[in-house]
Every structure is written in structure tokens, then in C-alpha cells.
Amino acid sequence: MSTSDLITIKRLVQNLSSSELSILNEILGKKDLTLANYHRLSSSELISAETWLWERISQATNPKIKLARARIWVIFILLRYGGLKLQEIFNLTWADFDFYNSCINVQQAFKRTIYLSKSIARRLGSIFSPALFPTDQINPLKVDAASIRHTFVRLAKICHLPTGSLNARNLRYSRAGELQRFGLAQPALTYFLGQGKSDLEPEVRTELEKSLQEFCQMETNLRTSARNVFQGRVDEIQESGLMVRVKLKTPSGLLISALITDQSRRRLQITKGTIVTASIKAPWITITPFPKDEIPQSSSMENCFPAVIDNVKGDRILYEISAILPDGCQVCALQGQDGWQPQTGEKVLVLIKALAVVLNTNLG
């Protein structure tokens, strides 16, 4: 087949409707054509890049440098989790961000609402705020596209990613691929990426956005019954006979300690720098009122974090308590009713035993 034939076929495919694409997908035995010809960045590659960008913000002491690094991080997050096009990000205004509802309203050619997980929206809101970004700029994220490409090339080299793999297209399509593996239907994927017809019927648009909200606000792509899941990079390993203490650092800088056997560490091939997932079941987390004096240092509770209660549900026996950590992540605990009545908005301590943290290296 000649090059001209391939170009002709590509043009024909691009002009097909969603229903025609579905039929062609069945004939070819492919799940979709929208996501063809891109480099899928794995979870570990994405976490590695996101962590490096976040650490660069905290390392900056000069306000101008901190702003520049924060802007790059926000753009990365919007590409990686929002699937926005680079030009759409550049054209965003302050009014387009709705952190209360964890969404972004894209007002350009393909108008749509993009939903984020609540933890990502909280982290985004903590950085993309008037405290750091100038409010007098109509488009506060507008920068030279070449500088973004240059940063991503450098970032890929630092994180040991394949040359040319870290770019706006691959970040967008990697997120779409995640949503597809969750089970998001092809029409919703096309809408998410800002492709296809923009003049949709109101009923169709509402249904697509409802589906997107459900799928995009999933906290993690790890299939597990554990309510609390954190992903990050191994920051430190402390060996002590049969047991090994592994300290995980999330992209937002949260440090979580896990205590596993040396045999498990070897089986999982965990070394410093390894990208892992830490999961904790809700009954293994303890939430207590914030002490009036100082935070207690207990050897059995290596993970001790201040938090604010976000939601409380209860029956005659148990409380289900959701709390927000300083980095914006949400944790959920199940505990008995022992006299203390937790209240929404109350400041608390979240305590997690290192032995209760389960590590997983199979991130895909």
C-alpha cells in the first residue's frame, strides 16, 4: 500500500461519524480508532513526571521562579487529568475554574465541562490561586508553547522516559486510555477529548457530561476494595532484620510509612525510586479529635496527619468518617461509636499503623 493510499484512508476515517466508526471498529477488531497512534504513558511514568514537577515548586525560593514552575505543573495536571488541548489551557480564564464542583468549563470552539477527582481539584486549587498567580491576567496560564515542549523534553530525560513520549498529545490520550479501560463509552471519550461534533443536542450533552463526571472523578485506576489508595515514589528504605520500613512520597509531598517483610520487598523488587501504590482499608485507619496540646508521637502510629472532617455517616454501631489531608487527598475510616461524636469541619488527627499499609508495584 502506497503512502498516498494511507493518507486517503486516514482522511476517510477522520470524516466518519461515531456510529460509522463503531461499525468499522467491529470489522477491524479494534476497541477504538480515536486513541490509535499514540504512546501510552504508564501510571509509573506519569507519577514520576508529576512528582518531579511538584518537587520543583517546593524547591523554588524566588517568587517569579515559583510562579513559572507552578504554571508548568498546572498545565501538566490539566493535560494529564483533564485531557484539555494545549491551546484550550492557554485560553482559560479565572471564571472557567469551578473548584467547588471539581470541574473546568471549556468555553472555546468545543464547549464542554471537564470533571476532575476531588483530590486533584483540591490540589489544583491550592496552587492555582490568587496567592500565587496574578489576577490581572485574563489568561493566567498562557505561555509560549515552545517552552512547554522544551520542559517536557527535559522532564522525559530526567525521568528516564522514552524520547518524545512526554508531550501534550500523549498526556491527553493516556488519560483517555485510562477512562476507556474503566469502561467509558466511545462517544463520551470523543467528547472528553473535544473531538467530533460540537453542536450537540442539549439532552445528548447532558448525558455525556453525566457519564464523564462519574468516570473522571474516580480517584485511582487500581481495582481494589481498599477505600484509601495513594501512589508515589519510594523515598527511603530502612532495613531491620526480617522487617523493612518503606517510606513512600506522593506527588503532593505526603510521606507514608509501610512496614513489610524483607521477603515481600525482594519479591516486589522495591528499591529507592520505585513507583508504588499504598492502600489501607478503612477499618485500619483511626481518626481522633485534634489534641489541644501537642501531637502525640506513638511508635505504633508512624503515619500521623492533621486533617479536617469532610463528611460523617453513622448507624447504631459505626461511624464512616471522611477527612481531607493537608495535600487535598481524602481518607475514609470506619470506627466504632465510643462516645466521641465527629462533626463535619472538625479538625482531627488521622493515624495509620505502618503494618496496615499494603504496597503494590503493579501499576501498569
**What's the CA gap between 116 and 212, in Å, rounded?**
9
Residue among 4, 51, 32 nearest 255 (CA):
51
What superfamily does domain 16-216 belong to in CATH? Intergrase catalytic core (1.10.443.10)
Write down how long the chain is.
364
What CA–CA distances, in Å, run from 288 to 18, 79, 293, 350, 357?
A: 52, 38, 14, 7, 19
What residues have CB less than 8 Å from 41, skipping those under 6 apart? 49, 161, 165, 166, 170, 171, 174
Sketch the domain layout of the chain as residue ranges.
Answer: 16-216, 228-360
Confidence of residue 6 (pLDDT cuts 50, 70, 90): very low
Rg (the chain; Cα; Å) = 22
Task: Give pLDDT tens digits for 171-192.
Answer: 999 998 888 877 788 888 888 8
Q: Which class is domain 228-360?
A: mainly beta
User: Would you state the pLDDT for residue 344?
Assistant: 93
Residue among 130, 179, 117 nearest 329 (CA):
117
Task: Give pLDDT tens digits for 101-110.
Answer: 999 999 987 8
Q: Would you say residue 27 has pLDDT above 60? A: no
User: Would you state the pLDDT for residue 209?
Assistant: 85
Q: Would you say residue 64 has pLDDT above 90? A: yes
**What's the CA gap between 328 and 127, in Å, rounded?**
11
What CA–CA distances, in Å, run from 279 to 74, 80, 257?
A: 26, 22, 11
